[in-house]
Structure formats: structure tokens, C-alpha cells
Structure 1
């Protein structure tokens, strides 16, 4: 997020070239340059303001509670600390570490997790972190070494099989260096106690034993990337350009909203605003497009009936349509 439209327009950009490593079988962006991104206190990725996402967190919390029980838990990359707080509210002995942490809780370290950190806990939580790490295997081995090659780990990442199957172009973006399939974690670890899918299939999770982390991975099936992966972009742009006078807003100012506004903007489609319920994003601007982010109340009160609301994630469609009522056209981008 950027403080001014000019800064958003001038933001650094990079290429995305998806490829499968022939040795490990893992999928990554081979054009990724780590110096382009900076994860600091201005990085706003908190989704806990959404009732739908809180339902998802409740499901994750149930799995973590069942798997880890009364063990000492460390969440690496805990962000603003929401899930740490949820675990502690459930009675779990949880703490966190993240150099982008903004609060003052004594059980969360505002610190980068690296080789100098010794964890000494019974269980690790790694939610939506591994996809951002340039060397995911190396990072997992770093975690294992820091914890004495013992303990359990809960890993949650976006599901690349879901992305390919649904032609989810909006889930391929620069912040995500890696793209995982469920089979990857069964190859990374010799012992996986539980695994599966969450959040309508968009996420996958694995609970594994750190002592079973492999150095060399078994063979992997070759990915078959769909040739028509971006077909929905052209279709959505054509529909929008056919009604040039209709007002349009984007609901969801996370990575999907950034990608959608960027790609459709390059196809000549203009939007009035982006909506997000996260107060930390409101009043700021989306990268590249420079679209201003506002609260639902600010946008809906002045939006003419019949306007288009592009919902970035259909998991949130019920709460979006409840907020806007039957006055608008709701277009779930991930279902187009």
C-alpha cells in the first residue's frame, strides 16, 4: 500500500516466470529478485476483519489445537499477531516472531527469523510464509536446525493445483515466489501426520514432523500448466468495455485487487475505487494502478444502483452482497 497515488504509480515492478525445478519438482518464479520487495510495518496483509476469514481461522485453530495441544508453540511470520492471540485465547502456550509486528505484546518478538534464532519449542506454525521465501527448502531446514531437528510444524500455503484448475491468474503475483501442491509436502517430509485443503480448496495445509525433513526429494509429477490460463482477463475486459458508462469498484485491496486493477487497467478498463474493510488500507493506494482504497460505507453511499462490484474472492461474496444489498451487480472474479 502507498500513501500517495504518485508513489503507487512509481512502485517497483518485476516479472513472473513460473517454472518447475527439475531436481526438486518444486514450482517457483525464476525471475524473482528479492531486492524489489520490502516487508515492513507498512505491509498490510491482515484479513481477520472479515467474518468469512475468521471462520477459516477458527478451522485452522481447531486443527492446531488438536495437533499441538498443550505444547509450546511459535508462529514464525505472525504478521500483526492475530493468530497468536487466537491461540492464546484458546489456552495454547503460543508466541510469535515477525519483524513487521506493530504491537507491544511481550510474547511476540519484532525480529527477523534467521540463523541466529534458537526456538526450542514443541511446535511451529508457518501460515502463508513459505510461499514468500526464495529458498523454501533451505528455510525449512533452518527452522528444523533452530529447533534441534525436533517438534511438529503446521504449514499453510495457497494450493497451486487449485490455481491451475481454476485458471486463477489473480493468485500468481510477485510476492509469491513459490507455488505448492499437496504432494510437495509429502515429498519434503518423511512423516506427515495430517494434510488437506482449506478455504474452499484455495489453501492447503500439512502437519509434519521436523525430524523427518528430507534433504533430497523423491521424484515429482511434471506440472501441466494450462495454455488458456488468462482467458478470464480478456472476457472480463470485453464485458466492461461494452458498458463504458457503468461505474465499477473492486472489493478487496489485497494482492488479487492489485493484480486485477493492473491488468484490466492496461486493457482500458477504469475503476472508481477499491473497497476494503481493513482500516489499515483505507485512504491508501494500490500498487501500479494507484486506485484509492476506501471503506465500504464511503464507496457504497455514493455508488449508483446497477454499478458493478468486482469481488476478488467468492468466499467473501455473502458478506459483500449483504453489505451492498440488491442495488448492485456482484461479479465474483475467481468464478468468471
Structure 2
């Protein structure tokens, strides 16, 4: 096996989790259906040359993003605020003067926000289910060269692509000379800092550090977003390298033992707070529940504000997903918030109710 960015064959295994759901963001109509989904292994390997980290056991042929896939975060006011901050960044970078193509635009929420704020943007997503005239239900390729894009926006897509450099090359061949690319991905540095075992899962086959994503381009600008959970890279597509350049491939603060220590602690916390709720039925919550309560003995349910997830069941464990309104059925209890960014928003929603609200950072 070789690195998918630089073709170096000196790879070392840094983290493994067997038998995990291949989709964290799919929900199911029955417990039985949820418990009988396909699973796979996460075997993270790191390249000693460019620092790229990827799941060596990822099978792209198993990934089918259909109507059961629910990853819309815009129901949260905090997340909407974040998207507005991102639009401010786009304005600061003068992207409103460019013809923009967003690849992997999902349900098109961010695209519609951009258009309402005066940006000229067209989206591409083969799994799109709506009827927007500004979204093409297709993969972006050279046949759309006539759109003359000045900027490609790639938000939370590259971490799902099995061959990321090949994918970027295809984009580079399908744009006019002088086009730029804006890439937003999760930050592996943040995962390391937080020992966030709940943020490593099958859907993400790639994990980027500042150095490894920068190694793809001769020159780039980078920054952090969403309280350091995400990072961005802005570069000219003409600066895309044929192979990733050597980079600082040492992860001085990555110790598997510390991540496993936190996992053991979280299992003990869940067991000592039987009947607790987990707020967030996205990838973080599903991964956390799968690793800390695989037999559904301790976590009562997961809470989520996305109506498409409510009344359904999460992959593998079959925990139910309830709405915030259903908390009225509880006399009180413990709630663990999966993403600290949403703590204050959730705190307001449960104000006056007898719940103890915890964050993952606070319980450690």
C-alpha cells in the first residue's frame, strides 16, 4: 500500500477501531434495521513523508449516500451564525466578485445563503434531491468547463474522497486558467488535542493536518474555523502538485494510549449515569454511543433538533432519537453535549428543567 498523496510506501498504523457503522449520519425506521447495517474497520495509517492520514480499510464501493443520509446542521442557530461568519470571510476575500462552483453542496443550504448575499454560485451534488435551478445533480467534470468558474468551494467533501489528490486533479482540469480553490475540512490537530475518539469514524476516510493539506500545493493560505474544529485552505489550482511534498510528519501529541484512556473514562461515566441522554445524533454522537454503550444498556436516547432524525434509530446500537420537545416527558436527568460549540444554545433550550448538562471537556 502506498500513500494516496505522495506514493510513499512507508506507512505506520496509528489507530484502529473494528466493526463500526460505515454511515454515522444515516438513521433508520426500526431498531432491527439499525442493528443490521453494514459495518467496517477503521485502520488509520500515517505517511512518514507527507503526514497524510487515511483509513487503510476504507471501501468506497460500500458508500451509498441516499435519502437516509441526514447531515444537515443548519437547524442550529449557532451553526447558522457560523455560516454567516464564513460568508463574511468570503466577502473579505472578495469571492463575491467571482463565479463560484460549490462541489458537494449537499442540500444546498450554504449555497442558498451565498446567493441571498449576492454571490454568483452554482452547486454540484449527484445526491441532491431538491429542485433549485442553481444546483446540478451531477459530478463536476470537464464537460462543465463552459461555466468558467473563478473559484471552487469544497466544504467537508475532501475527507470523504478515497483518492483526494486524483479528485483535485480532476477539478484542476475542469476549470479555466487562474481559478482558485477553497477547501474546508476537519482539523486533525483538534482531534489530537481533545483526544476526540468520537471524531474518528468510517465516513471520513481522510484526516488532514495543517502540514499535510498544505503539502498538496506549492503555495496556499490557511486558517482555523468553528472554534478550531475546522480548517481552511485557499490556493490557486495551478499550484496543485503532482505529488504531495515532504512535510512535518511527526505527531508529537498523538498517543493512542491517551485516547483509549479517555474512552475507558467515558465508558465509566456512561455506566455511572445510567439513563442519561446524549445531545447530538450526528457522527460524533453515533460514534460515542457505539463505543461507550454498544448494547444500549445505559444511554436512554439521543436528542437532535433535526426533524428528519427524530423518531428514528441510529446505526448499529439502535438508540432512539428524540426531539428537544420530548424532554418534557423526562423528570430530569443527565445530558451529555457532544459538541461544546452548542452548549449555550442547548442550555437555553432546557432552561427551567431539571437536567444536569455536561460537556465532554468538563467531565474529563
Q: Report the TM-score range of the alignment, normalised by the length of the smaller protein.
A: over 0.9
Q: Distance in 1 between matches of 2:357 and 2:225?
A: 24
Cα deviations by residue, 1:199-258 (Å, 9 ceiling, x for unpaired): 1111001111111111122212223331311322211221332344xx211110100111
Secondary structure at 1:16 match in 2: strand
Higher percent of residues as strand: 2
TM-score (norm 1): 0.93
Residues in 1 aligned to 2:44 and 2:111: alpha-carbon distance in whole angstroms: 33
- CA distance in structure 1 between the partners assigned to 2:361 and 2:309 by the alignment: 22
Over 3 Å counting, the alpha-carbon distance change for 1:157 and 1:243 in structure 2 is: closer
Q: CA deviation at 1:108?
A: 0.4
More divergent stretch after superposition (197-206 vs 275-284):
275-284
Instruction: Give yes or no for the alignment of 1:204 onto 2:204.
Output: no
Structure 2 vs 1, CA of residues 268 and 42 (structure 1 numbering), >3 Å: closer, same or farther?
A: closer
Q: Paired residue for 2:156? A: 128
Q: CA RMSD in A?
A: 1.8
CA distance in 2, matches of 1:76, 1:180: 19
Tell me whether 1:147 sits opposite 2:164 in the alignment: no
Query: How many residue pairs get matched?
Result: 331
> Could you tell me which residue of structure 1 aligns to residue 76 of structure 2?
50
Per the TM alignment, residue 281 of structure 1 is displaced from its structure 2 partner at its CA by 1.3
- Shift in Å at residue 294 of structure 1? 1.7
Normalised to the residue count of structure 2, the TM-score between the two structures is 0.86
Structure 1, unaligned runs of 5 or more: none
Q: Distance in 1 between matches of 2:227 and 2:247?
A: 25
Contact 1:14–1:36, Cα closer than 8 Å, also in 2: no
Q: How does 1:53-72 map onto structure 2 within 5 Å?
A: 53-67=79-93, 68-72=95-99
> What are structure 2's unaligned runs of at least 5 residues?
1-26
Q: CA deviation at 1:102?
A: 1.9
Task: Summarize the alignment of residues 139-288 of structure 1 with structure 2, pairs less than 5 Å apart.
Answer: 139-148=167-176, 150-192=178-220, 194-224=221-251, 225-227=254-256, 228-244=258-274, 247-266=275-294, 269-288=297-316
Alignment of 1:96-135 (within 5 A): 96-114=123-141, 117-118=144-145, 120-135=148-163
Instruction: Measure, in 1, the Cα distance between the counterparts of 2:273 and 2:216.
Output: 49
